[in-house]
A and B are shown apart, each in its own frame.
Chain A
Amino acid sequence: MTTMQDFNLRKAINLGLIAGFISLFISVIGLTALLSKRQLIAGILTLGQLLIFLATALLSYQAAEKSSKKSTAVLNSVIVGLVSAIPLAFLIVFESLIDLRQFFVNISPDLIKIISFGQGTTTGIAILFAAMGLVGLIMSLVYLLPPQIRRSIITGLVATLIIGTFSELLTERLRVFFGVAFSKTIFQSKALLPSVAAIILIVVTALSFVWTKTGDGIKQRFDVIPDRQKRYLRVGNWVVLLIILFLLPQFLGSYLSEVINNVGIFVLMGLGLNIVVGFAGLLDLGYVAFFAIGAYTMAVMTSTGSLGVGHVSFWLALPVSVTAATLAGIMLGTPVLRMRGDYLAIVTLGFGEIIRILANSDMLKSFLGGAQGILNIPKPEFMGTVLIQPAQLYYVVLAGCLLAAFVSYRLSRSRLGRQWMAIREDEDVAKAMGINLVKTKLLAFAIGAAFSGLAGAIFASKLTSIFPHSFNLLISINVLCLIIVGGMGSLPGVVVGALILVGLPELLREFAEYRYLMYGALLIVMMLAKPEGFWPSAIQRRELHAFKDTEPVPDSTQTE
């Protein structure tokens, strides 16, 4: 609705205030202080500082974009920058007057030090305004550059910041492969050296610039290749991908392998929920129940502790766990077959909670161990070796994921897959077309539950002990989030979503407390801005954007 012409001072101030309040929010809930422990560039920039400037940077860029003339672009961006400093400045002033910490636990002296740049109240505020204004100015200048250069510079900046963020991990890896001396030439005390940061920025910018010049040519050359050779190329890609996946743990080391394993378990669950929610359109919030059933079956069957009954091997217990989860899927799915949409979501949520509370209760304590859980679950054994290392367990997870991905892929193109999608689009029409709703829906619940049970079984064996509180609603939300972020109904989307939502928070460990805040915000933002996800399937994209093309509701509050 905002056209180029009517962008004016008031809008700039509004944008500035929004940016300022976002920065204030991030600071007051404690993210800034927490993340400023992580240095990006030694002695210059921490992640916390970056976070304060982030909202200002993005919104001042937007202000520049919306301005009609170049001169006003600079002005607007700087205004956004300056205005965005106001809320934080107020925070500094208030803090110096009364002790806010007795109410808001996260307004610590550390935080005030960060936002006032270690100076006193007055100087600190002056520097804050100057810095925010500068950010606005820089963003407008970036905007005014020719598009090609602009894109390259942004790529370079982002790459540098990402490398800086993960310096700690990269230091460790470099030390293992190239020795301490080499890692010290790049990183210092878990952060990039300023000179190296500059080099990375320049090199990536240059590379990206070269790619924008020649990339189109390469793409064009690919387009004229005959179809058959294209197919070979694609198969080649898959082979390369598989080889990389197979060799991955050799390069990752044990910590990163562990992270990848966690991601893998969530990919497995995501693929299952993707069938239920993404393909068949049945929003299941109690998905964790099947994960729990898989895990508990594995635990009870294999545990060498007092609660174990079978003492069988992992490989024997695995199909039983999957079967148990599948049966549970059918059992819980049957009564809810007639429900749709949000009622279904709430009922399944209720199921999930019932299962968790039962596992936690004294009633089943003699079987499932109550709150103390089940201990002493052995790790899987393969050809005589026990897979203790995360790098070894990785192959079990990988095998599960590949199997699930293959099954999902084949199903999505099968008659059953098309029936699911028909149900998702319109249940009544699907029924009229002769689709057996009972059978089709139950198959969706069953297959989804089977994947989740498989994930649960591997999870139990990986952790060697399980407790009811690991199976709370947050897991279901987590899985739902990752398929939404990746794109509902899209298989690569599940992997992308799991990497972003499970992998990233594990790498930024101090972020753990705020992970669900991020999930919540992400769910809202995704639904508002990109409901089809980052890697959408073609159908979903069309459907979810359809409503935006229709006539909007008469919005009376907008017309001021």
Chain B
Amino acid sequence: MLKRLKNIDFLGLILWFIRASIIAVVIWGSVATIIKNPYTTSNWIDFIVFGIAQGSMYALIAIGYSLVYGVLFMINFAHGEFFMSGILTATVLIAGPLSASGYLDKQPVWGLLLILVVSMAVSIGVALLTERIAYRPLRKAPRLVPLITAIGASFFWQYTFRGLFGSQTKPFPQIQVLAGTVPVLGIEILKSQLIVIITTIIMLIGLYIFVMRTKTGKAIRSVAEDKDVAVLMGIDVNRTITITFGVGAAMAGAAGVMYALVFRQVHFFMGFFPGLKAFTAAVLGGIGSIPGAAIGGLFLGIFESLGPALILQGLGIPAPHQLKDVIAFTMLVLILIFRPQGILGERLAENKA
């Protein structure tokens, strides 16, 4: 310990200072809030349940980042746009007309399934197009090059969908069956949030089985391990990468439906911030790992939902909920600076990043 302290340099000192001050702020804020206690217990439970629902969404999107990072070591900056494209298209083309004709209320299960399928299909389509045109030719390029193309792709898709469907916010229809709350273990939970959480759990388990138990999943894992050896083992690397993008985009498409169910509106720019936060979640959990993405997503969702009330309110900051995004971004910055390998990551990010 002493030896470590002796070797500490200027930079290390500053980093320790930042660490200490952040911890101090968090503790001070939380303690102050708890002493004042401006919220009731049911408020806190609402925050946590909302955080879990939000976190499930982040988890689903984060998986796309993690999978792609696993096989290509690139941050797919356009992943948030895969999320947006699916649900925006499904809302305008399917949900709107279905709701207008009353079908969505009569057959909510089939209606929602159709929306889910269309959303996932469009997301997959957009992802595969992006991969084929913008990423594949640049696989051997210096690292910054694909990142820049990904940023380009992100803006390209945003403004393409703005051009296609217009720039207004579009309402996602309210489904009668999903209105109101249900009691779970004595807690009243919004039905839409409950659906989101259950669907996410099912999808995560399905994905885990797909990656761990099927042949294609094995191929994905081996490509992530070593592309050159995978080729020698007779694995079609390009096909595997395409599938990886497809799976990630399918999860993002599903997350889009969850988003629409919870927030009931969609917009061409809606992919950007969830995308960035999901990336935070992926890094938080350890990028490249599927359980990591799930845990990271949940953690970020809860933290983001609790944070403003718990930490900022105590510091006496007015309208703390405006600063929700600041909490998420601060967390992103702090994780990347202090623990880039994340909670579950065993890889040394220093070598990869």
Contacts and interface: CB of A to CB of B under 8 A. Distances in A.
Contacts of B143: 341-342
A337 B13 CA distance: 13
B156 A342 contact: no
A5 B7 CA distance: 67
Contact of A335 (B15, B137, B140, B158): B15
Given A346-B332, A350-B329, A105 B159 contact: no
Interface in A505-530: 513-514, 516-517, 519-524, 527-528
Interface stretch (A130-138, A173-181, A310-318, A547-555): A547-555
Given A30-B163, A31-B163, A544 B145 contact: yes
Nearest to B147: A342
A343 B353 contact: yes
Nearest to A285: B151
A517 B162 CA distance: 9
B28 interface: no
B140 to A, nearest CB: 5
Interface stretch (A188-196, A214-222, A352-360, A451-459): A352-360
A357 to B, nearest CB: 5
**Which size class do A's interface residues fall under?**
35 or more
Q: Interface of chain B, helix or strand or loop or mixed? A: helix
Interface string B321-353: 011011001101100110010000000011001
A531 B137 CA distance: 12
Q: Interface of chain A, helix or strand or loop or mixed? A: helix
A379 B139 CA distance: 49
B150 to A, nearest CB: 9
Contacts of B138: 527-528
Contacts of A365: 318
Given A103-B93, A345-B147, A351-B333, A362 B156 contact: no
Which residue among B75, B148, B149, B231 has the maximum number of chain A CB atoms within 10 Å of its CB? B148
Interface string B86-115: 000000110000000000000000000000
Nearest to B89: A103
A557 B241 CA distance: 12
A520 B153 CA distance: 6
A105 B18 CA distance: 50
A550 B238 CA distance: 18
A350 B75 CA distance: 15
A255 interface: no
A557 B165 contact: no
Given A362-B318, A520-B155, A335 B337 contact: yes
Given A343-B340, A347-B336, A362-B322, A29 B14 contact: no
B245 to A, nearest CB: 13
A543 interface: yes
Contact of B142 (A285, A514, A543, A550): A543
A346 B283 CA distance: 11
A285 B332 CA distance: 14
A550 B138 CA distance: 12
A556 interface: yes
A514 B237 CA distance: 36
A528 B75 contact: no
Contacts of A341: 143-144, 147, 353
Nearest to B287: A343
Given A336-B337, A346-B279, A362-B318, A517 B155 contact: yes
Contacts of B166: 105-106
Given A105-B164, A528-B134, 14 more contacts: A29-B164, A285-B151, A339-B353, A346-B75, A346-B336, A350-B329, A350-B330, A362-B318, A438-B11, A519-B152, A524-B152, A544-B142, A547-B142, A556-B237
Contacts of B134: 524, 527-528
21 contacts: A30-B163, A104-B164, A338-B11, A338-B337, A339-B353, A343-B349, A343-B353, A347-B332, A347-B333, A357-B323, A358-B326, A361-B319, A438-B11, A477-B151, A524-B156, A527-B148, A528-B138, A531-B141, A531-B145, A547-B141, A553-B140
Nearest to A553: B139
A112 to B, nearest CB: 16
Which residue among A106, A281, A365 has the maximum number of chain B CB atoms within 10 Å of its CB? A106
Contacts of B259: none
A436 to B, nearest CB: 11
A153 to B, nearest CB: 32
A514 B326 contact: no
B332 A555 contact: no
B18 A363 contact: no
A340 interface: yes
A342 to B, nearest CB: 5
B332 A527 contact: no
Which residue among A346, A351, A516 has the maximum number of chain B CB atoms within 10 Å of its CB? A346
Nearest to B81: A520
A25 B161 CA distance: 11
A283 B151 CA distance: 12
B20 interface: no
Contacts of B144: 281, 283, 341-342
Contacts of A338: 11, 337, 350
B159 A514 contact: yes
A343 B336 contact: yes
A200 interface: no
A477 B150 CA distance: 12
A82 interface: no
B157 interface: yes
Contact of A337 (B11, B279, B350): B11
A342 B140 contact: no
Contacts of A103: 92-93, 165
B257 to A, nearest CB: 19
Interface string A282-320: 010100000000000000000000000000000000000
Contacts of B137: 528
Given A362-B318, A521-B156, A543-B142, A342 B75 contact: yes
Interface string B65-86: 0000000001100000000000
B164 A28 contact: yes
B231 A554 contact: yes
A119 interface: no
B52 interface: no
Contacts of B329: 350-351, 353-354, 357
Contacts of B140: 547, 550, 552-553
A438 B9 CA distance: 11
B165 A527 contact: no
A197 interface: no
A516 B149 CA distance: 14
Contacts of A14: none
B258 interface: no
B233 interface: no
B239 A516 contact: no
B148 A523 contact: yes
A360 B163 contact: no
Interface string A24-50: 010011110000000000000000000
A556 B164 contact: no
Contacts of B151: 285, 477, 480, 520, 523
